[in-house]
Amino acid sequence: MALAQALAHERRLEHMALAHVGDVASEAAAAQPLITAAQPSTMAAQPGITVIAMGGTIDKDYPRSAGGYAFEIDEPAAGRVLSELPPNVSIEHVIVSVCRKDSTEIDAADRQALCDAVAKVPPGGRVVVTHGTDTLVESAQALERSGAAHGKAVVFTGAMRPERFRQSDAAFNLGGAVAATSLIPTGTVAVCMGGAVVDSRFCRRDEQSHRFVDTRWGP
């Protein structure tokens, strides 16, 4: 009799333990954030990319003039990169050339022209700005302050080596920037270089490593 009572008590304890585990699992599942993947129909509905070219290293090419020795800023490299994609990964795009300058030569008038070009993009638009790396952050922050990016996702990018060169980082950075425009919140102006995406408000270029870093996570 005592043995039967002991076994029954043990079974009750097991049932109670299993019920507790189930409750904990349910609570944990409810506490997890809901992560939703983009459905094909949603992805298909996304607008194409507007690429605004400001010149810079990404667009530089070998000199064409006889006896020339300095690199020349050519047509926007983004057009070549995006047009050469295979059909299954191609993306609709429009190229807008604002200026063809080394970024050290970009002035307030050029930045105003950039803001005007972004303002013309319809709400919900995705914008990639190709720019020289020396003053890329300054232009991105100027655009953010202007309010022209309101309702749009804007990502700045560039290259350390011209797109025309072998082992250039241009296509890698451009691809990252295009992807980032579909991930960042609208109204954001971000910088995408070297695989990192940084909110322009907290971005700076480290002079030693030449990387674009987030000031919130370090000096």
Question: Any idea which residues carry the catalytic annotation?
Answer: 57
The reply, when asked if residue 103 is annotated as ligand binding, is yes
Q: For residues 38 and 81, give the distance between their C-alpha atoms in angstroms, rounded to a whole number.
A: 25
Task: Please list, residue by residue across 8-25, b when 16 or more beta carbons sit within 10 angstroms of its beta carbon and e when fewer do.
Answer: eeeeeeeeeeeeeeeeee
- Are the C-beta atoms of 101 and 55 separated by less than 8 Å? yes
| Tokens linked to 38 | 């983009």
Residue 134 marked ligand-binding: yes
Per-position b or e across 89-122, b if 16+ CB within 10 A of its CB: eeeebebbbbbbbebeebeeebbeebbebbeebe
Please name the residues in contact with 107: beta carbons below 8 A apart, sequence gap of 6 or more.
none
The reply to whether 133 sits in an annotated binding site is: yes
Residues 93, 68 contacting (CB under 8 angstroms): no
Dihedral angle computed from the Cα positions of residues 14, 16, 22 and 27, in that order, rounded to the nearest 10 degrees = -150
Instruction: Report the candidate in 166, 155, 107 with the shortest Cα–Cα distance to residue 130.
Output: 155
Which parts are annotated binding residues for substrate? 103, 133-134
